[in-house]
Structures are given as structure tokens and as C-alpha cells.
Amino acid sequence: MILLSGNEAIAQGAWEAGATIGVAYPGTPSTETMEVFAKKEGVYAEWCTNEKVAVEVGIGASCGGARVLATMKHVGVNVAADPLFTAAYTGVNGGYVILAADDPGMHSSQNEQDSHYYAAAAHVPVLDPSDSAEALSFTKDAFDISERFDVPVIIRSSVRLSHTKAPVECGERLAYETKPYEKNASKWVMMPAFAKPRRKVQLERIAALEAWVEECSYNQVIEGDGKIGVICAGACYQHVAEALPAASILKLGVTWPLPAKKIAAFADSVEELYVIEEGSEYLTQAVKACGVNLAAPVNGLPADGELSPRVIREAFGLEVPPFKESRTDLPGRPPALCPGCPHRIVFKELSRLRAIVTGDIGCYTLGALAPLSAMDTCVDMGASVSMAHGMELALAGTDHKPVVAVIGDSTFGHSGLSSLISTVYNQGTGTVCILDNRTTAMTGHQGNPFNGVTLQNRPSRELDLEAVVKALGVEDVRVLDPNDLSVVRENLKSATSSDALSVLIFRSPCILLDKKHPAPFAVTDKCTSCGICATIGCPAISLTEGFGAAINHTMCVGCGHCSQYCRFDAIVRG
């Protein structure tokens, strides 16, 4: 037995099942799954530019006969939904398993959404492991299920399962032989003439899955005293078992399709039946649709966020035992750009310009927070560029502040590219800042097309970002050093005062990539307490009234951003 996180166990399960190909775009809480899979023997794994591409590469590999694992976070499933829905028509050749890792509570996401809805809407079976051992065995079995029913299978995880380590028994790798590829247009070419019969195949498959789900071993009844019955799935089961130890529990390992007969029989075996799920109505509605009556906990369950044994006991009006909970009396530590982050000066200058900044998703989203407060919007990956265009359209003819889109290098490759093409095509204006810190920093420094680093360190080529942007038709393209205040200030000013569309590529590596830092800075007695240095939001700087500014030497990385803002030469190295 070894301790594995849910993500590590999913990677192990795929490997044991003989999967040879892994495709992904990083995203918390799914990221480590592919990083772990990539290190296993006999596999090929890659970061793709986005989740849609990943799922399509996966369909191609499955069509070619290999067993394939694709991984992504819940919002990645939105991006991949197009191929996913039609892959549920084509079906598979080699088994195809897709991890959708949800983030109830939004620990590291822009929204809370329940991937079960995708499985139900796309008619793709979904397995819900409740711990690492099940994460391994369900993933392994999912490849067989995929091939048996000729359909991709989703493994649905959530942050609690993905990131919690639990004991797991690992097994041998199956000697899976890649299936031969046979041309079969009626299965793989989804034009109406072929898609219509495949829809019939899908309907027959749904009926077959509905019969199978009544008998399969993944849905288990854990006997209790028969008074309270709970239907739940995934990591939620662990909270329910701890909070309501006497309850009878129907732990669903398959959450689409649902075992309607099993649910009805379970409902008959208990006095009161509850569904407990996190931040979603999926299971509640689906169970109700099976024709059973549900009771509601006396105090109601929260409609958002993660559950915990405490929350469940409070919902049922039960006394709360002294659970070991994390401390709440610690001082708050608001997230901030790291000391030395090359994004900082750009945001400070955008703030000075009072620009309307359409932002995007990455470390740089922190530019929205005080004291920088330099971001007006952040919706989804790639939206900065398209929203800037929309904003320009709405504000056209008015006396408005400059509109500036801010996007990271990985996010630009993910979906900013197609937005920029659209802006150029429609003769859009405005300024796009690509914050090229040479990595996908937010999710743990993964490679991307613009730094040329691949997941398994296979040879690649670094795409020339400047040439790509020029090739899209942008004429004013500048590559700039974001650590030089005067360069940033002058170029933002000239670009935003021009009528032409401009792209400013601010290029400087993420400060965390280079561990060798120059000597830190210190504040001298020339400090007048003006406070300008504190407005750049560096965690190493503090300002105390009456005492002036101070720099924490253990945090300062010697970038000198603050000293460039000091008008009194009061911040010096050493």
C-alpha cells in the first residue's frame, strides 16, 4: 500500500489499464494527473494548447486504436464540449477516459460548475470515485467500460478527491495491444447522413448502459439503521459517512446514467431519503426524476461551496462534535503578485493611465486587487482580447479611457489567438498586452508553445510570438522589457494614444524560474513616507505611519521595481 492523491491514483489507474497516450491542458485541481502520468514508463504525454485540442487529439488517438487519458479542470470541459458531444456519437476504438476535475468552493477557479451535467447532456457515462483507491480502480475499469459500450467515459473528481492522499494498492500494467485502425466512415465521419444512424446507436447504447448500471459493482449500499437514507457520490461520501454514521448510504459510483431501480429500492428501505451533494442540484433532480420522494435537511444544505462533516451536521440540526478544523484565527494573507513579478509595473502603469483593462486568467489576474486595482473584467481564458474589442465597439464615438487587454502567454496560445484574429479581421482597435513570462506560471510552470518546453522534455520549437502576432495582421507589435518603468510607461502611452491596434509583448521570465537573485533593496533615511513604493503592491514592502517604508529582506528579490518609483532616491540596493 502507498499513499496517493486522487490525481496520482487516476494516473496510476490509466497506466495499469495500458493507456499509452495522455493529453491535457493544465488546470487546478487536475494538473498533477498528467504530470504524474507523463513520468510513467511506456507512455507518451503532451500539453496541448487547450482542452478542445486535447480532447480532439485524444479522439484521434483512440480512433487509431490506443487507450487514451485526457485530463482537464471543470471549465476546461466547457472548452472541450464541442468534440466531447460528438465523440459520444462516433464512440471509440481504443478506450478513452476523460478526467473532469471540479472545484466546488472555487479554491482556484473562476466559477463553480458540476461536470455531471456535461456527462448527462452528452450521454457519456461518468464514474465518481470517492477516494484514491477507487480513483485508481474506477479509472482502470473505465477503459474497459469505454471499449465495451463504445463511448468515452468521464471520471469526475473534485478538489477534495484530487488533492487528498489516501492508501492505494497498485497493480501491474496490462499488456494492452493497440487495436488495429480500420477505415469506417459511417462511424467516424459525423455528417448528417452518418450522424443520424449514429444517434440511433447512441440511443441503443443509453438503454444498454441503463441496464448495466443497475447491476454494476460501482453503486453500493452501506447499511445503516434504516431511518435516514442518503444518496451521494464522490468525495462527498466521505463527509456523509463521517457526519451521519448511523445513516444508510447509497454511494453512487456511476452518476450517469443513474440506477433508477436501485434508487427506488433504496428509497423503500429507509424512512427518510436525502440527497447530499456539493454546490449543485444535479443529483437531487436526477434522483427525483427516478420517481422517489426526497426529504430536505431541517436547516437546508448550502447551495454553493464545499461540504464538510460540520456543514452536514448543522444542516441536519445535529450537535457538532469538536471536529479538527483548520484554524481561523490566523492573520489574513491576501493573494498578491510575487515580489519581483514581471507583471507588476505593467499593472501599476495601467492603473496610472486609468485604462479600462479587460483581463484574463493567470497569475496576472491578481492585478485586479488593491493597491494595483488595474483590471476591470475577467471572465474566461482568452476573453480579454475579445472583450476589449466588444468594449471598443460599445464605447465608440464617446470620450473614453484607453481600452487595454491583458493576457498571459499560455492563455494567448489557449484561446487569445482566435480572439485576436477576429479583432484584426473586424478592424478592431485598442491595445493588447501579452505578458510573456516564458511559462504557464499560475498552474505550476508548465510548458507552452511560446517557451517550447514539452511535457516529457521532448524536442520542440519555441514559437516566435512576435512573428505569430505579425502574421495575424497586427502591424504595431513591440517586444518590451516589463521591468523597465520608463519603457513600460512610454510604450503604454504611445500605443494607447494611437488609433491602430497594437500588441505589446512584455517579455521577462517569471521570477520563480530563476532562484539566483541580486542583493535585496533597503530604505534609507531619505524616505519621506510618501507611500508611492507601497502602491505597487509588493508583499516585501510595508509602510508604517511615522516610520516610513520598510523592505523585508527575506522576501525582497532585488528586482528594483520599487526603487524606480521612489522620487527621493531613498530605496537603494544592499
Ligand X SMILES: Cc1ncc(C[n+]2csc(CCOP(=O)(O)OP(=O)(O)O)c2C)c(N)n1
Query: Which amino acid belongs to residue 60?
Result: G
Whether 533 and 541 have beta carbons less than 8 Å apart is answered as yes
Q: Of 105, 362, 447, 449, which one interacts with ligand X (CB under 6 A)? A: 362
CB of 295 to ligand X, least distance (A): 37
DSSP annotation string for 171-207: -PPP-PPPPPP---HHHH--SHHHHHHHHHHHHHHHH
Q: Of 361, 378, 403, 571, which one interacts with ligand X (CB under 6 A)? A: 361
Phi and psi angles of residue 231, each rounded to the nearest 5 degrees, phi first: -105, 130
| CA-angle at 258, arms to 124 and 204, nearest 5° | 55
CB of 565 to ligand X, least distance (A): 22
Phi and psi angles of residue 318, each rounded to the nearest 5 degrees, phi first: -100, 155
- Residue number, 50 or 563, with CB nearest to ligand X: 50
CB of 385 to ligand X, least distance (A): 12
Number of residues that bind ligand X (CB under 6 A): 23
- Residue number, 20 or 411, with CB nearest to ligand X: 411
Query: Does the protein bind ligand X through residue 409 (CB under 6 A)?
Result: yes
- Residue number, 353 or 433, with CB nearest to ligand X: 433
130 to 231, 251, 458, 567: CA distances (angstroms): 13, 9, 35, 58
Question: Taking the CA of residue 220 as centre, how many other CA atoms within 13 Å lie in the half-sphere pointing to its CB?
Answer: 13
CB of 228 to ligand X, least distance (A): 38
Query: Does the protein bind ligand X through residue 99 (CB under 6 A)?
Result: no
- Polymer length of the chain: 574
Q: What does DSSP assign to residue 305? A: S
CB of 411 to ligand X, least distance (A): 3
Omega of the bond prior to 83 within 30 degrees of 0, cis? no
CB of 480 to ligand X, least distance (A): 16
- Residue number, 270 or 510, with CB nearest to ligand X: 510
Using CB under 6 A, which of the segments 174-182, 345-353, 362-370, 466-474 binds ligand X?
A: 362-370
Query: Does the protein bind ligand X through residue 442 (CB under 6 A)?
Result: yes
Q: What does DSSP assign to residue 275? A: E
Per DSSP bridges, beta strands 548-551 and 541-544 are: antiparallel
Tell me the longest C-alpha to C-alpha distance in the chain.
Answer: 81
Q: Of 252, 366, 381, 383, which one interacts with ligand X (CB under 6 A)? A: 381
Residue 44-83 contact track with ligand X, rule CB under 6 A, x = bound: -----------------------------x-xx--x----
Q: Of 146, 440, 451, 502, which one interacts with ligand X (CB under 6 A)? A: 440
Query: Does the protein bind ligand X through residue 402 (CB under 6 A)?
Result: no
Phi and psi angles of residue 221, each rounded to the nearest 5 degrees, phi first: -95, 125
Q: Of 135, 258, 263, 363, which one interacts with ligand X (CB under 6 A)? A: 363
Strand partners, 523: 571
Binding residues for ligand X, rule: CB under 6 A, are: 25-27, 73, 75-76, 79, 361-364, 381, 408-411, 435, 437, 439-443
